[in-house]
Structure 1
């Protein structure tokens, strides 16, 4: 059976991811910490060409080293985008165990934290289209590499982090599935 799926270019992947960051994460204020690093152009967009999890792991390890070596004022956070791998959410969720191992092996536990986003993201005990899942839905699978120090600083500025989750749920319930879809955040040519 032939597939009409055409692999997006790295530029298309970055554009779709930036649109998601600007319209959903920042635009809906799902993460109040994202606006500053975006405005200061401190977000690194790294697109992995990997198609298998072992190659994704290699790219992750490289991006971890790159982030740690960079000055925070230049690169404070990295979005490692995986347009060609881990398309099934269950595979992506399983891969997150390897992410934690990579952090430990590189001695980065407590230095770097990884947040995860996926087009099919689904929290345990939720229905597939439960609006709460959309807080972690992105056009492509994404590993968000965050400096713990920067995260701690942001939390000090916004100490009631529990309120973020509650506000996100209220925002998404008001927006609804139709409103989310109207944002046009799906990746181009998703099979």
Structure 2
């Protein structure tokens, strides 16, 4: 990928973060780390599982070795792979194995996002899937300590998920698409 392509991918992901994740408060913990510049965006040019796995190793090791005040969380963005959601979902087993091999289970957690994300036992067009939809496949590397601190505000995390479904249901698919178009008001500034 050239510099312009990478910049375009980063811009689309920032728009999604600012308007959907933070703007709709889908993740009540995201705004504080984002405005402090502690969210690392990494665009992978990997086109196969081997190259992506090598990059995942690098990013997990970097996150583990860097103080949270510098990098609290990393979004590993994968624009050149996983057009099909099931392929991405299957790759998550490899990602979990990498986390285990690096002995980071309990320190770092993986979350996943995809343009066609689909929860088990839902139809592809079920609006609840939009809570985990993003412009590109993304592996979100999260520090367990940061999650634990943030979760103290929400003793029952299912409340967040239920609220998110209600928010995207009210917005609807057309509202979601409109929200993520360039030029909309209400972006979070850094």
Match status 1:161 vs 2:178: no
Q: SS state of the match for residue 58, structure 2?
A: helix
Q: How many aligned positions are there?
A: 181
Match status 1:51 vs 2:8: no
- Are the equivalent residues in 2 in contact too, given 1:53–1:86 (CA < 8 A)? no
User: In the alignment, which of 22, 37, 42 is matched to residue 38 of structure 2?
Assistant: 42
1:60-99: per-residue Cα shift (whole Å, max 9, x none)?
A: 1100011111110010000000011122111100000001
Q: SS state of the match for residue 9, structure 1?
A: helix
TM-score (norm 1): 0.91
Q: Which residue of the partner structure matches residue 81 of structure 1? A: 77
Q: Gaps (5+ residues) in structure 2? A: 183-190
Q: Gaps (5+ residues) in structure 1? A: 1-6, 187-191
Please state how far the C-alpha of 1:157 moved relative to its aligned partner: 2.4
Q: Which residue of the partner structure matches residue 3 of structure 1? A: none
Match status 1:69 vs 2:65: yes
Match status 1:124 vs 2:120: yes
Rounded Cα–Cα distance in structure 2 between residues aligned with 1:120 and 1:29: 20
**Are the structure 2 counterparts of residues 145 and 159 from structure 1 closer, same or farther at C-alpha, using a change threshold of 3 Å?**
same
Rounded Cα–Cα distance in structure 2 between residues aligned with 1:171 and 1:69: 36
Q: SS state of the match for residue 140, structure 2?
A: strand
Rounded Cα–Cα distance in structure 2 between residues aligned with 1:140 and 1:173: 21
Stretches of 4+ aligned residues off by more than 3 angstroms: none
TM-score (norm 2): 0.91
- Are the equivalent residues in 1 in contact too, given 2:44–2:55 (CA < 8 A)? yes
Q: Which residue of the partner structure matches residue 171 of structure 1? A: 167
Please state how far the C-alpha of 1:184 moved relative to its aligned partner: 2.6
